[in-house]
Amino acid sequence: MADLLVNVINNQRIDDPAHIFKQIDKMENTGDNITHKIYLCLDKVIFTPLNRNDIHALASAIDDVADTIKEASGRMYLYNIEDFTPAIKQIAAIILKASLEIEKAIGLLRSSKKANDVFGLCRQIRNYERQSDLVYYQAVATLFENEKDAIKLLKYRGILFSLQTSVNKCKNVTDVLNTILING
What does the radius of gyration of the chain's CA atoms come to, in whole angstroms?
Answer: 18
124 is in which domain, residue-wise?
2-183
The C-alpha atoms of residue 99 and residue 87 are separated, in whole angstroms, by 18
**Residue 135, domain CATH:** 1.20.58.220
Q: Report pLDDT digits (tens) over 128-175.
A: 999 999 999 999 999 999 999 999 999 999 999 999 999 999 999 999
Percent of the chain past pLDDT 90, that is, above it, reads 61
**Total domains, the chain:** 1
* H/E stretch holding 53: helix 52-78
**H helix and E strand count, the chain:** 6, 0
30: CB partners within 8 A, 6+ apart: none
